[in-house]
Structures are given as structure tokens and as C-alpha cells.
Amino acid sequence: MGRISTAASPRMNDRERVHALLDEFSDAELEEVVKLLRTRREEAEPEMAELPASWQFLPSGEPAPNWVAAVHKARRDL
């Protein structure tokens, strides 16, 4: 089977280009890609959107927690 040209069509979107690249990889190479993607996803820090000033602190005066990170962690730990 011949190699697929990943630069073939300017009409290909990113997903199609990635699929074309992955089709060229051996099973061992794909395992490494999967490990890399899982590690990157697990290590990614959830970003906290800028909150209005009145939401940045709890009524006690303590800084508000990063709710996005808390939800992300809860979902990951399911």
C-alpha cells in the first residue's frame, strides 16, 4: 500500500489531515501518539475565565476557588 500525501488537498480540514497522517503510522507509532495525547490532556491546566471583581472573593474575603479546575478534577476522578 502506498503512502498517502498529507499535503494533497488544500480543501482538507485539520481533522482530515490528522487522519491522513495517522493512517501512515505503524501500530507502535500510534501507541506512542495515544500516550502523548493522554499525557497532554491529563496535564493540561483548566483555564479560569476572568471573573467580575465581585465574584473573585467569597463573602469571607477569601479568594474564590478555581471552579473550572474543581469540576475538571471531579470529572476526571469519576
**67: pLDDT confidence band, cut at 50, 70 and 90?**
confident
Give per-residue pLDDT as tens, 3-55. 445 555 668 888 898 888 888 999 999 999 999 988 887 777 766 667 788 88
Q: What is the pLDDT of residue 73?
A: 86
Q: How far apart are CA 71 and CA 78, in angstroms?
A: 11
Q: What is the pLDDT of residue 1?
A: 40
pTM: 0.40
User: Which phi and psi angles does 57 have, rounded to 5°?
Assistant: -135, 145
Q: How far apart are CA 55 and CA 64, in angstroms?
A: 7
**71: pLDDT confidence band, cut at 50, 70 and 90?**
confident
